[in-house]
Chain A
Amino acid sequence: MNKKMSQQAKMLKEIMSYEFTAVDLNLYLDTHPCDMKALAEYNCVTHQLDILKRAYEQCYGPLAAFGSTPSQFPWMWIDEPWPWEVEF
């Protein structure tokens, strides 16, 4: 259980770092819409992030609900831990 938890936290942390890069680039692109270099970085990070999220969801269930991703059986959205309960 504990080992599984730490693996989950590890995967989450990697997703966080890529998604944070996407967030910071997103805000930059909002005010620099014609910056081709930043846009290329954004598209590259988006692709990496998608791979990481899909791998995580295979093990721990959907990262987003409301139709964002299909769910395995049973419905895993309600599985614990919720974000505030994860130990890093």
Chain B
Amino acid sequence: MFNPRKEIDFMEPTGACFPQARLSEAWTPYQMIGMIFDPPIGLFHGTIFPELVRPYMPNPNAPEWY
């Protein structure tokens, strides 16, 4: 039979995406280092880590009031 209490116990400790993440806590995955940019390229991008590069792209679908 369906036991609502047990269902809640099962769902409580983990978030939807990451097994480590818990409900009602902010959670960022730890970065794993790969290759890093040469110094002048890193300065240009604002980080030496390619995986953290997030160039600014104005969203073309943003509503007019946004």
Q: Do chains A and B touch in the complex (CB under 8 A)?
A: yes
| A 18-60 binary contact with B (CB < 8 Å = 1; else 0) | 1011001100100110010110010001000000000000000
Are the C-beta atoms of A24 and B33 separated by less than 8 Å? no
Chain A interface residues toward B at CB < 8 A:
14, 16-18, 20-21, 24-25, 28, 31-32, 35, 37-38, 41, 45
**Residues of chain B within 8 A of A32, CB atoms compared:** 30-31, 33
Q: What's the A-B contact tally at a CB cutoff of 8 Å? A: 36
Are the C-beta atoms of A20 and B33 separated by less than 8 Å? no
Chain B interface residues toward A at CB < 8 A:
30-31, 33, 36, 39-40, 42-43, 47-49
- B-side interface mostly: loop
**Residues of chain B within 8 A of A35, CB atoms compared:** 33
**Residues of chain A within 8 A of B49, CB atoms compared:** 24, 28
Given contacts A21-B48, A25-B48, A28-B49, contact A37 B42 (CB under 8 A): no
A17 CB to closest chain B CB, in angstroms? 4
Are the C-beta atoms of A41 and B36 separated by less than 8 Å? yes
